[in-house]
Amino acid sequence: MGKQRNVWSTDVKEAIVLSVLRGDLGVAEAARQHGVNESLIHTWKTRFLEAGRARLAGDCQDQGMTTLERENDRRGRIVAEKELELDIARNVRRL
Write out the chain's pLDDT in tens, 95 residues.
566 677 889 999 999 999 999 999 999 999 999 999 999 999 999 999 888 887 787 765 555 567 888 888 888 888 888 888 888 888 888 77
* Distance between start and end Cα atoms, the chain: 51
Distance CA 73, CA 79 (A): 10
CA atoms within a 13 Å half-sphere pointing along the CA-CB vector of 85: 6
3 state DSSP class of 42? helix
User: How many other C-beta atoms lie within 10 A of the C-beta of residue 34?
Assistant: 17
